[in-house]
Chain A
Amino acid sequence: MEAAGVSNATDDGFYEATARQRVAALLDKGSFHEILPPAQRVVSPHLKELDLPVAFDDGIVIGEGRLDGRKVFVAAQEPAFMGGSVGEVHGAKLTGLLDRAARDRPDGVVLLLDTGGVRLHEANAGLIAISEIQRAVFRARAAAVPVIAVSAGSNGCFGGIGIVARCCDYVVMTEEGRLSVSGPEVIESQKGVEEFDARDRALVWRTMGGKHRYLIGEADGLVQDSAARIRAAVLPWLGTPVPLDLDSLTQEHARLALRLEQFGDAQDALEIWSRQGVKAPQDLPGLDHEAFMNIAVPLRNSSHA
């Protein structure tokens, strides 16, 4: 008997997978070598002080491997541990990985991000970690190693790591993924529920979700939730760093200034999409991937100058 619509959910989906499963699914089989693995027990000293459970890897898996035969470094945040948040050790692992990339020059660094941002429990240590990570991203980029951010998880990519993601060469997202700085609850508590109702999930995804980020030029790629498709999106970017010099930055500023002119006064993403030429913007969130891409690709703002 034919079903009306069998689920497109694939078995290699990222969304529900753990960090370890994501790394294994992304890289060539058996190619992953973990740096600072669990057995080394480099755990958070702060959480112990606060009488909270620690994780052997402090919620981030880092290491080296191969993606279609090409040498890459990978970091994957574990969404279930402390909301994927960045603590001192977690941040240091990420910074160290990027610094090693600047030294060893793999074809790319892939960051599988799934985080609410700074781990507030670790206060200043977490905040400092973010700035160290940012600097390290730029050191890797200065060494012509492309850094690729992936936001495909349930926590989204928020806070300081949201900023980090946009310091990277490329960003790829799925529809379920989100990318922003302040999270929905923070915006609501700061600006009031009339301004932003955090429980209005459709609003949240319209504002920060993968589809909107792709359309407005914050994400370079939008793919369906599958390791194979994320791999396929990342592959062409390996060995293809985006220039980071005065010229490219000036152009980027011009691109952003123009975008601000175009959409700065818009009250909702629906207005933005309408101005971009989308005929029925209210339908976009409900469209399946293919239908969405047919509309989005020709109309979207470019993500690079």
Chain B
Amino acid sequence: MTQAFPKKSTRQWNTLATNQASRLQRARSISLNKVVAATDTVALLEAVLEPLDRVCVEGNNQKHADFLSQCLAKVDPARVHGLHIVQSNIALSAHLDIFEKKIARKLDFCYSGDQGIRLAKLVKQDLVEIGAIHTYLELYSRYFVDLTPRVSLIAAQSADADGNLYTGPNTEDTPAVVEGTAFKNGIVIAQVNEIVDKIPRIDVPGDWVSFVVQAPKAHYIEPIFTRDPALITEIQILMAMMVIKGLYAPYEVSRLNHGIGFDTAAIELILPTFGESLGLREKVCQYMSVNPCPTLIPAIESGFVKGIHCAGSELGMEDYVAGRPDVFFIGHDGSMRSNRAFCQLAGHYADLFIGSTLQIDLEGNSSTATLNRIAGFGGAPNFGSDARGRRHGSKPWLKAGQESARVLGSTMPRGRKLVVQMVETFREKMQPTFVERLDAWQLMEDFRLDLPPVMIYGDDVTHLVTEEGIAHLHRCATAREREQAIRGVAGYTAAGMARDRREVENLRDRGIIQRPEDLGIDPRLATRSLLAAKSIKDLVQWSGGLYNPPKRFRNW
């Protein structure tokens, strides 16, 4: 029997390239050059976009293609409609205006923060069809699978006449977006703050870029990673002491990620004092995957933190970072290069993640989701999850793995990442952190999501730290033990008061619950004088004047 090979294929195999060429041909009536005038941008978009296109609008934590977004919101919906937006951060009102105007229809994204309430309203009004809410790594991956953008609108610091781009310290998402788009014959349009003869270094080759526009106003970067030490409380300092003495020290944690917040800022600021007094310099916290938060300065200067890779930059830290090239990732031009995808990857496989949250249930699931708001996940789940694919060993990973209660019947030893949630039992206005049922369940119903939007899953959490102590959840063999361990550190909340006293005492005897006194910590010593820096000005002094705080943080 002979094989029947298909007749010579009549299928076209270069449709994307052909289509790209026709878009570029249409664009020639707007601009013959790669560099396009700002006033021509709306016309350019109308020329290169086609209905139902998959479009990526670069939205990072900080850097946004804001001018291009505003222009996109001005295109004629008769010509451009039904767009499928793939975008990591929904942050500006222009990002949602396009849905109200029916220029866009479908949305796949990661994080919407401040726009969460409006997004929820638009979903209810059936103006936005959500494909899925992703974590950052998931969305970036899908740029290379089934969500490859056809057109990407990106932001860069500067460009030259050939379209080479400099993204500088706030590179963030750009590499992931551009690579996926450019290598599937997509169109990359970049807005820049300035066009220069020679850019400091080439972050994106001009070959990958179709058009460059100088935005009328430089894209604004919000300093969202700066925490003023003046606002750190004694309770946060107490918890920070427990984290350092009860977790970092015994597990010898050298590679980690801190979720942004005042709690973790407190940890950073007592490393040079409390951490030093425990002899922990060069034993813990040497490598971090995190943005360059100003509160890290004392820990860097005093020799705790040796290396930091960043997802993005932070306003005011540019000169300090450039002045510490042994610590940060710096280009030959002297400025930092960040990369959110690689930072998330590094954090995913690190030894420890620690962060705070708004609500925790009695299985240890936590969520920042609140009613009437679709906020998304961002990167926290990438950091705050066990990396089940990990193979290389380290002391903390192996220790936590050995301590973990075994699944019934399994014989294979595993390592385990330390995933730590750090919360006060009550938030402002006496709202309890510990709840029987997360608001996330209601959100799942209201917005017909596949799953309740949980930020960190209870079965990934190894440790829970509150002002009442540390609960080593990974050592709990049953759901019942886990629940009592959580109640045991839930203090005077209803969940905490409903504890079984004897079971909790037993957990404490076994060291699954540790109170501050069990760790040799006197809560009365948790005062602000333990902070290496108590104010923004102190941070400036620690940095030798290199840190340049944004206006809102300074009085000079």
Contact = CB atoms under 8 A, between A and B. Distances in A.
Q: Do chains A and B touch in the complex (CB under 8 A)?
A: yes
B532 interface: yes
Interface in A193-215: 199-202, 204-205, 209
Nearest to B320: A4
With a 10 A CB-CB cut-off, give which of B528, B541, B544, B554 has the most chain A CB atoms.
B541
A1 interface: yes
Contacts of B544: 4-5
B555 A8 contact: no
Contacts of B551: 200-202
B535 A9 contact: yes
Size class of the B contact interface (CB-based, 8 Å): 20 to 34
A261 interface: no
With a 10 A CB-CB cut-off, give which of A5, A16, A204 has the most chain B CB atoms.
A5
Nearest to B282: A1
Contacts of B535: 9
Contacts of B230: 16
Contact of B555 (A4, A13, A204): A204
Interface stretch (B215-223, B295-303, B388-396): B295-303
Contacts of A9: 533-535, 538
Interface in A1-45: 1, 3-9, 11, 13, 16
Nearest to B553: A201
A246 to B, nearest CB: 40
Interface in B35-62: none
Give chain B's interface secondary structure class. Answer: loop
B542 A7 contact: yes
With a 10 A CB-CB cut-off, give which of B301, B534, B554, B556 has the most chain A CB atoms.
B556
Interface in B529-547: 529, 532-535, 538, 541-546
A285 B535 CA distance: 16
Interface string A206-235: 000100000000000000000000000000
A196 to B, nearest CB: 15
Given A1-B302, A3-B298, A201 B542 contact: no
B542 A5 contact: yes
Contacts of A205: 555-556
B546 A7 contact: no
A201 B554 contact: yes
Contacts of A5: 301, 541-545
B502 interface: no
B542 A16 contact: no
B552 interface: yes
A286 interface: yes
Interface string B353-397: 000000000000000000000000000000000000000000000
A202 B528 contact: no
Given A16-B534, A200-B551, A3 B301 contact: yes
Nearest to B324: A4
A202 B541 contact: no
A16 B556 contact: no
Interface in A63-102: none
A8 B554 CA distance: 17
Given A202-B551, A202-B556, A7 B533 contact: yes
B552 A7 contact: no
A287 to B, nearest CB: 9
Interface string B94-125: 00000000000000000000000000000000
B552 A199 contact: yes
A201 B528 contact: no
A7 B532 contact: yes
B302 A3 contact: yes
A6 B554 contact: no
A11 B544 CA distance: 21
Interface string B279-301: 00000000000000000001001
Nearest to A201: B555
With a 10 A CB-CB cut-off, give which of A3, A199, A209, A286 has the most chain B CB atoms.
A3
Contacts of A286: 556
Contacts of B298: 3, 7
B531 to A, nearest CB: 9
Contact of B542 (A6, A11, A176, A200): A6
A286 B230 CA distance: 19
A201 B552 contact: yes
A27 B528 CA distance: 22
Interface string B335-361: 000000000000000000000000000
Given A7-B538, A9-B535, A202 B554 contact: yes
B552 A4 contact: no
Contact of A16 (B528, B543, B554): B528
Contacts of B302: 1, 3
Nearest to A283: B556
A209 B301 CA distance: 30
Nearest to A199: B552
Contacts of A8: 538, 541
Given A11-B529, A16-B534, A202-B551, A4 B556 contact: no
A285 B301 CA distance: 25
Given A3-B302, A202-B556, A285-B556, 5 more contacts: A4-B301, A7-B298, A7-B538, A8-B541, A9-B538
13 contacts: A1-B302, A5-B301, A5-B541, A7-B298, A7-B538, A8-B541, A9-B534, A9-B535, A16-B230, A16-B534, A176-B555, A200-B551, A201-B551
Top 9 nearest A-B pairs (CB, nearest first) are: A4-B544, A285-B556, A1-B303, A3-B301, A7-B538, A205-B555, A201-B555, A5-B541, A5-B544
